[in-house]
Amino acid sequence: MVKIEIDEDACVGCGSCVEDCPNDVYEMDEAKNKTKVVNEDDCMACLSCHEICPAEAMEHKNIHVAKRLYIDRRISGILKKII
């Protein structure tokens, strides 16, 4: 089962994940102005929320991680040396 963890210190409360999630997994906690997970069971681990989150504030655990054959390891190696 998918487990989603939100780093409340990192979350900027922009609500992008709430808008983007097709299955309404997230909701805004108006009191804290942070995202909260309300419907974890419906998460299909598309990870659109990861892509849209400006603060990289979430982590999905126990999901199918798609193969990343598109990564050019040679370029990644060069980038790792620079960054």
Partner 1 sequence: MEYQIEREEKEVLGDFKPELIPDECGGGIDDYEEALHVLMKFVGSMSSALEQVSGRGANAIVYQAGKRMGHEAGKMVEKTDDLEKAMQELSEILGIEFFFDMWKPANQTGYTVENGNETVVKLIFRDCVVRQTLRRTGLPQKGPLCYLLYGEIVGAVEEVMGIKGKLDIDHVGPNACLKTLTIKWGGK
As measured in angstroms, the least distance from the Cβ of 51 to partner 1 is: 5
Cα separation, 82 vs 61, whole angstroms: 30
With beta carbons less than 8 A apart as the criterion, state whether 40 and 4 touch: yes
Residue 47 touches partner 1, criterion: CB under 8 A:
yes
Say which residues have a Cβ less than 8 Å from residue 43's Cβ, sequence separation at least 6: 2, 4, 23, 25, 60
Q: How far is the CB of 75 from partner 1 (least distance, A)?
A: 10
Please report how close the Cβ of residue 15 comes to partner 1 at its closest, in angstroms. Answer: 18
Among the listed ranges 5-13, 30-38, 61-69, the one in contact with partner 1 (CB under 8 A) is 61-69
Q: Does 2 bind partner 1 (CB under 8 A)?
A: no
The three-point CA angle 73-76-80 to 5° equals 140
Positions touching partner 1 (CB under 8 A) are 22-23, 39, 41-42, 44-48, 50-51, 63-70, 72-73
